[in-house]
Structure 1
């Protein structure tokens, strides 16, 4: 993987973690995600 792609993936990963982290516990529950799963879900999206 080239460095530019790695950087773009990292930025997208952090954005996803941030956006999911800003959701309320109720909203996360509604979409079937618990707060402790956020990083794992974001990580799976960019592998």
Structure 2
């Protein structure tokens, strides 16, 4: 019977992992800003304008989220 021992050695340095974390934080912040912008634009519309485009006010957060983050 053969046994295999897998050991994972951290191939990326601390600096590389830190850069990745910073880049992911920047990306997340950019998506959040786009979400807030979309949300605020829709929220600033009147109820009549929303009705004209077939959107209920209670659906604004879901629409903004799906627009930015996908399904």
Task: After TM superposition, list the pairs within 5 Å mapping 1:27-38 onto structure 2.
Answer: 27-38=49-60
Which residue number in structure 2 is paired with residue 46 of structure 1?
A: 68
From 2, 8, 11, give the equivalent of 2:30: 8
* Distance (whole Å) between structure 2 residues aligned to residue 3 and residue 46 of structure 1: 16
- Structure number with greater Rg is 2
Superposition RMSD on alpha carbons, in Å? 1.3
| Paired residue total | 47
Instruction: Tell me the SS of whatever aligns to 1:46.
Output: helix
Q: How many angstroms apart in 2 are the aligned matches of 1:5 and 1:17?
A: 18
Where structure 2 has 5 or more consecutive residues not aligned to the other structure, the ranges are: 1-22
* Residue 26, structure 1, aligned to residue 66, structure 2: no
Higher relative contact order (CA 8 A, sep 6+): 1
Unpaired runs of 5+ residues, structure 1, are none
